[in-house]
Amino acid sequence: KILAYNNLSCVYNAMKKYDLSAKVISSTLQMEEELAAARYGQSELSIISTYFNYSAILSQAKQHDKTIPALQKGFAYMEKAESRKSLEESEAVHLKNLRISGLFMMGKEYEVNENIEKAKGCLEKAMAIAKELKKQNIIEKVEQALANLKKKDTS
């Protein structure tokens, strides 16, 4: 059911029906919250991506007041997952990649809200992790975002 809702949300998103997409993925999150609370399977990890996807949809729907709180919920689940003693190396790397994405999205959202310092802080943290993981394509994307911020900051 969760997968079907996620897919339906993607379809609505592709059709630019962002409010409908957000509503569907919100239902997905309710189900995933229950599974994560019960520590069912990989739900503690998958809910992070779902929150980040939800925040991207909210941003596209111009519901910027809800975007950062959705990202923060994803980060809260990430911190819980990172604190697990049984975290496998592949899961740790996956979480670092998710952290880059979340920090990038949060930086762009702060930029939309004209909070340049917070945007810069998020992007710099994303850059540090991207360099650690040697993700050149992401490094270039973050460098470009930081350059754009610098232009805004000096104007």
Q: Is residue 31 a contact partner of residue 5, using CB atoms and an 8 Å limit?
A: yes
Which residue, among 99, 140, 139, 141, has the nearest Cα to 122 in the 3D structure? 99
pTM over 0.85: yes
- State the pLDDT confidence band at 140, using cuts at 50, 70 and 90: very high
Quick check: 99 pLDDT over 80? yes
Q: Is residue 13 a contact partner of residue 21, using CB atoms and an 8 Å limit?
A: yes
- pLDDT reported for residue 7: 87
- Predicted confidence (pLDDT) per residue in 11-39, tens digit: 998 999 999 999 999 999 999 999 888 87
Task: Report residue 38 CA to chain centroid gap.
Answer: 23
DSSP 3-state of 20 = helix
- Predicted confidence (pLDDT) per residue in 36-88, tens digit: 888 777 788 889 999 999 999 999 999 999 999 999 999 999 999 998 888 89
What average pLDDT does range 84-108 have in this prediction? 93
Contacts 24+ apart (CB under 8 A), 22-25: 22/54, 22/57, 22/58, 22/61, 22/63, 25/50, 25/53, 25/54, 25/57
Lowest average pLDDT, out of 80-84, 106-110, 140-144, goes to: 80-84
Compute CA distances 108 → 7, 23, 45, 74, whole Å.
Answer: 25, 23, 23, 16
DSSP string covering 26-56, please? HHHHHHHHHHHHTT-TTHHHHHHHHHHHHHH
- pLDDT reported for residue 147: 94
Give the residue ranges of DSSP H helices in 38-135: 43-60, 64-82, 89-112, 116-132
- State the pLDDT confidence band at 118, using cuts at 50, 70 and 90: very high
- pLDDT reported for residue 155: 60
